Structures are given as structure tokens and as C-alpha cells.
Structure 1
Amino acid sequence: MAEERTGGRTALHELSVQEAGMLLRSGELTSVELTRHALDRIALLDPALHAFIQVTEETALRRAAVADRDLRAGRDRGPMHGIPYALKDIFDVAGVPTTNASRLRADRVARADSTVERRLQAGGGVGLGKLTTFEFAIGGPSFDLPVPPARNPWSEQHVPSGSSSGSGAAVAAGLVRVTVGSDTSGSTRGPAFHCGAVGLKPTYGRVSGHGAWTLSQTMDHFGPLTWTVADTAAALRVIAGADPADPRTADIEVPDYTAALDRGVAGLRVASSPGWYAEDPMTMPEIVTGVEQALGVLDSLGARVEQVTLPPYEVFNACGRVICAAEAFSNLEDDLRRHPRSFGRYTYQRVMPGAGIAASDLMRAYEVRRRLTRQLDETVFDRHDVLITVCGQTTAALWSDFPADWPPPKLANDMQTIPFSVTGHPALSLPIGFAANGLPIGLQIVGRAFEEATVLRVAAALEAELGQRHRRPPEPDNTGTGA
């Protein structure tokens, strides 16, 4: 048994990328064994979780066998070599449908790989399949789509957030340790926060979106959602970098993100701004306390923590909503005109307001974004290395919080992720514990543009002090009869 090869101490799905990689390179474990274990776990647990839209079992086992042969021949392709991963179903994989969880794309089979998929394959990774998403990465946790919505592994009564909902559920449940999703206003950080995982929105332009669905050209970001900070660092090293096929990407050197994880935080300057959340009655006290505890940890480890005053959150939010709505409507306009009844109700209701945004309004929003980005740099990053703030104000929402029509009144402002999608700064959701209701809580670490390495360094220090990587959700039954 593969588990016996790890000394009987750690189940295969609990191994980090680095731990699994060491066993693969030593010959104590094979990628085929690791992949088969993941596929068996998906078969056992996913009927209740609905994290996967499609599992590519045959291809996965074939690529795992190739990864094993390469290692035996001395060809090591990097940190993801032989490691299973899965992609949000907005990324193209040649020969596999990219459905966007929509009737409108149910029969669309990709002709070529997205850049993210191509780089993961070139790095020796083993793709397991496609993960559930909100329709077109914007809809909502809908039951009127061709695939059922993903469930939160911590509680079947709660939503895993979105739009990278399958990614959050799959990672938390131990179906896969590395996924890649998209984040336009919080679609990676939200599921990570609500499922107790690590979700990184890299700097705008750090990771290519070629071959991925475009929701909002100027706000889409693409990045890893994983079980540990080190897993995120390993995955980002493989997928990051300039791409001639995507003019949004920046030709900036990609560092070894794992190299600085153990450097600690002594001497770093940390900004906090509780004005956004601490006095808001919607923010759970456990989250405020958790952020304060994390700041205390950083101070005790030698970082210098200072409070700053940020521009009003509402301005960031309004700016981002205008831009996203206008650009999303532009990208879906033809389908909206030709096939309006083929959309899920939430998707239609979220995208249609973009039809009423005038060009002059959009131009003003772009100008506000430039001003907000400049203000954030001047207020925070001219003098500080990172900003610590909340990621979400409450734990995962109940399914019953979602009425027939969007928006749900109880969820008006529960996430605080959109500001950094507006400005493009790298931002990471890090789990730091659990609320009294047993659901995960976390915080958000924001850094200077293209300084993901510093964000990951701070996250690794906090994870070592506050993380509970040993704690998994209870395994659901596999009858698929949840709420």
C-alpha cells in the first residue's frame, strides 16, 4: 500500500506538494499511486460535494505514468512534477469540454490547452479534471444550471462561496492539494476563506489568462487555491510569467517563491486598517479577534505593525462593480441577446445591469481606479511591505440565505476582496482558525505589485503559528442527498 510507504503516519491526501515530491524523488512513492489515491477519494466523496464537473481519470493515470518514467530517467520538471492538480472549469484543456457551468457552453470542447494547463503539464503535473464554478464565474450557487452547485465540506447547510466553489470544496476535503481558479472580485479568495484553504490572487498580469474564460478583461486574475502556503508557492512558480498570447501579462522575472518562506518576518513593516471592518456590526467578533491575534504574532516575531487609514471601502466597491458589470456584459452580450433564457437566473440578473452603464461612466470608473491605486500605494506600500485586513466579514453563508433573485439581502457586503482586484495588488486569503459555529475564518494579506514572495513569506510565518493544517472537515456521506 502507498500509505505504508509513508511509514503509516500520513495519509497520501495530507502530504504537501513538497512532502509528496520528496517521496516521489526518493522512489518511496509513485505518481501513479498518488493519482490513484486522489481518484479513489474523489469517487468516494465527490458524489456529496459536487466539487468536480468532470474527472479525466484515464488521462490522469497516463500522465502519472509518464511522470514516474521521467523521474526514473533523471528528468525532474520542477516542484509540481508528478503532483495531481485540478482546474476551475473556465480553463481550456485540449479535448475536454470547458462548460463554464452553463447550458450555453455544455458542448464546447477545447481545441487547445490554456497557458495555465500547458505550463502545469510542462512542469510534470497530473491533471485530474475540471472543477465546479458559478456560471461564467459570476452567477451564484444556483440549482438551475446543468451541474449541481458545490457544497461546503465543513457543513452541507453552508455555501463554499464562489465563483471558484469547486476549488475550495475539493482542496478542503482533501480531494486534491492544488487547484487553479480565477479571481475577478474575490472568486479565489472567497472560497479559500469560507472553506479553510489558502487562496492567492496574484498581481494583475502575473499569470496568463490565455485559454481561460474572460469575465472582465481588466479585473480578471488567475491563481492557485491550495491546502498550504508552500503548496501555493510551488504552484505559482510553475504557472506565473509573461505570455505572448496574453498581452495583459507582464514581462517581469518570476522568482522561486518557496525560497523565502522560512525567512521569517523580522524587520518587515506591516500595515493594518481596522476602519474598514472592526466597527461594522456585520463583522463577526471572532474575525476581528483573529486579525488582532495575527498582528500580535507578527509583532512578536519582529515585524513593525502600524495602523493606516485607507480610502473608503465603498469607493473601491462601487468602482469595481461598475467596471466588472460593464465588461462582463460586453463579453456575454451576444448570448444575452440571442439566448437570454439559457442563463441561470442569478447570472442573468448579475450581468444585465452592465447594459445600462454608459461609456462615460466606465471611463470615470477607470479614472477612479487609477486614483485608488495611487492612493493605496502612497498610503500603504510606500512605507509598508504588506497590509493585513479581513478577507470576509462572516463565515460561510447558509443556502437558505439565497432567495430566488439576486442580490441576497443578507450578503450585501460580507467579502472585502474587491478593492485589490480593482488595484491589481497581490492578495492572499489565509485560514487562521474557526468561529464558534465551527466554520473556518481567515484574513487577507496584501502586498506591493509583483511582490507575491513577500505576501507568501508573511503567510508562511502566520500559518506556522496559527494554522491548523491537521484539521479537516468531517467526511460527508456519498449519497448526494444534502441540502
Structure 2
Amino acid sequence: MTELYSLTAVELGPLLESKEISPTELTHSILERINAVDSTVNAYITTLPELALQQAAHAEKEIMNGLYKGPLHGIPIGIKDNYYTKGIRTTAGSKILSEFIPDETATAVKKLMAAGGVMLGKLNMHEFGGGITNTNPVYGNARNPWNVNYSPGGSSGGSGAALAAGLATLATGTDTFGSIRVPASMCGVYGLKPTYGLVSTKGVAPLAWSLDHAGPMARSVSDLAFMLNVMAGYDPKDPGSIKARIPDYTENLNKGIDGLRIGVPSYYMQGLDRDVEILFKDAIKTLETMGATVVDVDIPELSMSTFAGYVITIGEASSYHYEWLQTRSEEYADDVRIFFKTGVLTNSPHYVRSQQVRRVLTEALKKTFEDVDVLIGPTIPITTPAFQKNWVEQNLEVTRRGMPFTSPPNLTGAPSLSVPIGLCSEGLPVGMQLIGNHFTEKRLLQVGSAWEKVNPLSRTVHS
């Protein structure tokens, strides 16, 4: 018998609706899995078994009374620990917020809970979102379930690890320069960074306000679509929120990709580790056999993205953390303190020019989408790294290598979906990102769903 903790929401929904299984039974299965495995994987900072079982019992009562709310009803969800949860400790992976109890709940979490979601706990993360390896000297490193000596990626490393290990059915992530897509890639799951402003970041501890995105992570593309249907929408309490028509993101999941034009920017073919290059080129061939036309494109403006992404991220982060950097500097992890303090050294001309680069880059991307439907590239150019003793230097180096690949969608606000494409020679997952024009999440999910049918790596649960 397949264990309930290993099933996706799209598989569990019909079983819950028909009362073949109960939300309580499902939640017990995952809580038992957490008890058995999380001491090794360390995906959670705070688990909430009593609350989860209360919410599961409530969902069960509703379903038994014929009040089924939809595909998230009774589904266990892990919440990244930078999403505020009223009355529940929210650390953002930091020592500074180790005792912080918010008096509000993030809008996105409210929506997921209103749809019947069951909150399992708060997931581990790289401190304040300031890195992409999820080394965390305060709460311990989240570890990659494929091999616990390796990084799960970050900053949403606990989210990726929990999904890959069967410690949550769904998870939330945030993405400022890759923090949803990098752990999705390294853990062999799916992660969507939506269009900027599509999902509210109200009640999410910021890293860089103008680059921060909240989004879904899951083991299937259908699950992402279910989550986005709930999470998307205008929030008047979020100054970055956009009023946009919200479609049904599940509508085209079985449409296939025959006839779509997919562009491969030359920028994304540079500096690839050998295994990444082999797997990505194989993925291109597969997409062609699926009926897509794959063409090479040149977007020279992408070369400006690293400078702009770095300056804006550290500039805005150092502004948010300015007082703490003066008074509590020693409480930051060494790599994050270095990262944030560098922002104090940037100046107004650097920041303004970086914001000007965003406009140029956005216009270049929009022009490219006149000729192609979707862009693709490796999510990051490197294979998943093993944890090293010189973790501070490693984190800065992994960020240096990965940021050029992940930051363009953040700078432009364009949506990007990371999907698994196979395993490298060390047996760890490698990901490919699909990049779309603004508000084309529906198309990205369509392509991702077609891809999932030929490369269903994420369905595998590891421990």
C-alpha cells in the first residue's frame, strides 16, 4: 500500500472528498513521518501537531457534513518560517527573532487555511532569506533527503526538504533571488515564483521589498495550480499587490505543448557544470519530441542582471536590518552578516542605476516574448553542493554562481517555474526553469504539467 504521506494533493483530494480517507488519518500519517525522519532532515523549526490535528478534525467534520471546499480541504501544508502566523513563533530562521510571536497571520497563509489547509508547522530556512544553501547555525541545517550530506538549497530549504521527504503534502516558499526555485531544483520538486504582486507578501518578513515574491512549492504541477488558485489575488494591505484577473490555473494542465515556441537564451548556456549541461540539452530534445519548437535567442541585457540583483537585494536588506546591524550584529550568521553589511557600502547611484537596469531588462524580455511563448534555462548552473566546513565561503560562492541564473525573473517580476529534469552523477536532482511573460503562470503550468508526464521525478519520496 502507498503511504499517505507520499501522495500529492491531486491524488489525495478525491480520496478525501469521497471519504475513503479522512483529514485526521492523513495528518497522522505525516506527523508520524515527521517524528520518524525529521530528526535527520531537519525540515522544521517548529512543528504544530496539536494545531494540525485540531484543524484536521475540523476539516473532517466539514467534509462529513457535505461541506467539501475543494482540493486543499484537509491537505497538510508546511509554512516557511518567514510567513507570520498569529500566536505562533515565527523566526525567519534567525536568532534575532527566536522569540517573536506575531499578532497577525500572513495573507497567503490565511487564504490557504480558509481553503481548508492543515498547518503542520513552520519550515526551516536560510536566515532572513539571505542565502541559497540553508546552512543555519541557530536551528541547524535543513538537509537534502536525497543525501543528507548535501544542501537542500535555500532559502526555502526546509520547504524543499519537507516535500522531498514526505514531511508535508504542500509547502510555501518565498523567492527574492531564487529561494523557491533553487530548493525545488536541488530537492527534485516543483516551485513557482509568480509574477510580482500576484501573491500578497503582507505578513512575510522581507528580504528586499521590491524583489520579494511569495509562492507555492509541491510534488506535482497540479498541486501548484491548486495552491495558486487560492494564494493569488489583490491584497489592499500589500503595497506591491496588483489588481489582475485570476484565471483557473488548472484549466490547461492537460493541453500539452504541441506548437509552442520555446526560447533558449544563450546567457543560460554559459558556465554550466557538465552534468547540468547534459541533462538540460537532453531536456531540450525531449521538449522537441513533445511537439514544441525550440529556438536559440539572444538577450544581451541579461548580463546586467547580476549587478542589479545584488545591489538591490543587499541595499534593501541592509535598510530593513539597519538598526539590528548596529546593535545586534553578532547575532547574525557570519555569511548573512557579511551579505547585509555589504549593503551599507552601496550608494544611491548604485541603487538608482540598478533600478534603471530593471526597466531595460524588463523591456528586453517583453520584446523576446513577441517571438516565443516561454523561455527555458537551467534553474542554476551547478549541481547540488555537499555541505562544507568552510560554509561561509561556500554560501557566498554558491550565491555568486546561482544568482545570475535566478535573479532575472525577480528583477523583471516575470513568473518562473522550476521543474526536475533528472539526476546528476552524484544521484542528486537537477532542475530547469521555465520563464514566462507577466501573468502567464497558466502557460508555465501547462508546460510544466506536460513535462511532469514524461519526467515524474518529484513523485519519489526520500528519507
Candidates 58, 67, 70, aligned match of 1:66: 58
Candidates 164, 181, 188, aligned match of 1:189: 181
The structure-2 alpha-carbon separation of the partners of 1:143 and 1:306, relative to structure 1 and needing over 3 Å to count, comes to closer
The answer as to whether partners of 1:88 and 1:131 remain within 8 angstroms in 2 is: yes
The structure-2 alpha-carbon separation of the partners of 1:403 and 1:113, relative to structure 1 and needing over 3 Å to count, comes to closer
Distance 1:291 1:122 in 2: 39
2:195 aligned with 1:203, yes or no?
yes
Distance 1:48 1:453 in 2: 36
Bigger Cα displacement from structure 2, 100-109 vs 395-404: 395-404
- CA-CA distance at 1:267 after TM superposition: 2.1
Candidates 93, 97, 100, aligned match of 1:105: 97
Q: Partner residue of 1:254?
A: 246
2:299 aligned with 1:307, yes or no?
no
Bigger Cα displacement from structure 2, 74-83 vs 320-329: 74-83
Superposition TM-score, scaled by structure 1 size:
0.92
Q: Partner residue of 2:382?
A: 394
Q: Partner residue of 1:370?
A: 359
- CA-CA distance at 1:357 after TM superposition: 1.3
Could you report, residue by residue, the CA deviation over 1:261-293 in whole angstroms, capped at 9, with x for unpaired residues?
Answer: 0011122221112x224342xx12332232222
- CA-CA distance at 1:351 after TM superposition: 0.5
Aligned length: 462
Candidates 264, 269, 276, aligned match of 2:267: 276
Which one-letter code corresponds to 1:44 in the other structure? A
The answer as to whether partners of 1:433 and 1:467 remain within 8 angstroms in 2 is: no
Q: Partner residue of 1:453?
A: 442
Distance 1:332 1:460 in 2: 40
Q: Partner residue of 1:214?
A: 206
The answer as to whether partners of 2:420 and 2:429 remain within 8 angstroms in 1 is: yes
Q: How does 1:423-434 map to 2 (within 5 A)?
A: 423-434=412-423
Superposition TM-score, scaled by structure 2 size:
0.96
* SS state at 1:48 partner: helix
The structure-2 alpha-carbon separation of the partners of 1:411 and 1:144, relative to structure 1 and needing over 3 Å to count, comes to closer
Candidates 36, 40, 53, aligned match of 1:48: 40
Q: Partner residue of 1:4?
A: none
Give the root-mean-square deviation of aligned CA atoms.
1.6
- CA-CA distance at 1:313 after TM superposition: 4.0
- CA-CA distance at 1:134 after TM superposition: 0.8
- CA-CA distance at 1:257 after TM superposition: 1.0
- CA-CA distance at 1:412 after TM superposition: 3.0
2:373 aligned with 1:382, yes or no?
no
- CA-CA distance at 1:231 after TM superposition: 1.1
Q: Partner residue of 2:337?
A: 348
Q: Partner residue of 1:479?
A: none
Distance 1:427 1:71 in 2: 35
Q: How does 1:73-472 map to 2 (within 5 A)?
A: 73-139=65-131, 141=133, 145-273=137-265, 275-280=266-271, 283-378=272-367, 380-400=368-388, 402-405=390-393, 408-409=396-397, 412-414=400-402, 416-472=405-461
Could you report, residue by residue, the CA deviation over 1:177-231 in whole angstroms, capped at 9, with x for unpaired residues?
Answer: 2100100000010001011111110010010001110111100011011111111
Distance 1:306 1:141 in 2: 33
* SS state at 1:105 partner: coil
The sequence identity of aligned pairs, in percent, is: 36
Distance 2:237 2:395 in 1: 36
5+ residue gaps, structure 1, are: 1-7, 476-483
The answer as to whether partners of 1:35 and 1:84 remain within 8 angstroms in 2 is: yes
Distance 1:141 1:435 in 2: 18
- CA-CA distance at 1:469 after TM superposition: 3.8
The structure-2 alpha-carbon separation of the partners of 1:140 and 1:16, relative to structure 1 and needing over 3 Å to count, comes to closer
Distance 1:343 1:410 in 2: 19
5+ residue gaps, structure 2, are: none
The answer as to whether partners of 2:79 and 2:171 remain within 8 angstroms in 1 is: yes
The structure-2 alpha-carbon separation of the partners of 1:205 and 1:411, relative to structure 1 and needing over 3 Å to count, comes to closer
Which one-letter code corresponds to 1:377 in the other structure? K
2:16 aligned with 1:24, yes or no?
yes
Q: Partner residue of 2:4?
A: 12
The answer as to whether partners of 2:134 and 2:155 remain within 8 angstroms in 1 is: no
- CA-CA distance at 1:144 after TM superposition: 6.5
Which one-letter code corresponds to 1:260 in the other structure? N
The structure-2 alpha-carbon separation of the partners of 1:338 and 1:375, relative to structure 1 and needing over 3 Å to count, comes to same
Distance 2:56 2:281 in 1: 44
